[in-house]
Amino acid sequence: MIDFAYFLNLNQRTHQKQESEEVCIANISPLERQKRLRFGIRQFIFALLISGVLIGLHLNPLWRLSLLLLFWTAAVGFFQAYDKT
């Protein structure tokens, strides 16, 4: 049986839990954050250039799926730099 009281109080419990938790401490140095941010920016620009070439050459749009990995690694670089992980 589903306990609806759990779902009704879920927002209150998470709010209370967030107030009691400690602040997250960065586990990478500022230099390493800079490296990851630069990697993310370079990867994003490279993916945009390749995307432009694929569009400019009027290739089959399925080829653009290969760019998913490039955009994904760029996003991971950004998120790691900004989340300090």
Full 3-state SS string of 36-85: HHHHHHHHHHHHHHHHHHHHHCCCCHHHHHHHHHHHHHHHHHHHHHHHCC
CA distance readout (Å), 40 to 29, 35, 47, 51, 82: 17, 9, 10, 16, 11
Mean pLDDT along residues 5-20:
56
- Which of the two residues, 46 and 8, has the higher pLDDT score? 46
Cβ atoms of residues 51 and 64 within 8 Å: yes
Q: Could you tell me the residue range of the domain that residue 21 belongs to? A: 4-83
| pTM more than 0.85 | no
Total domains in the fold of the chain = 1
- Apex 20 CA angle, 14 and 25, nearest 5: 105
**pLDDT(19) > 60:** no
Sequence letter at residue 71 = F
**pLDDT(67) > 80:** yes
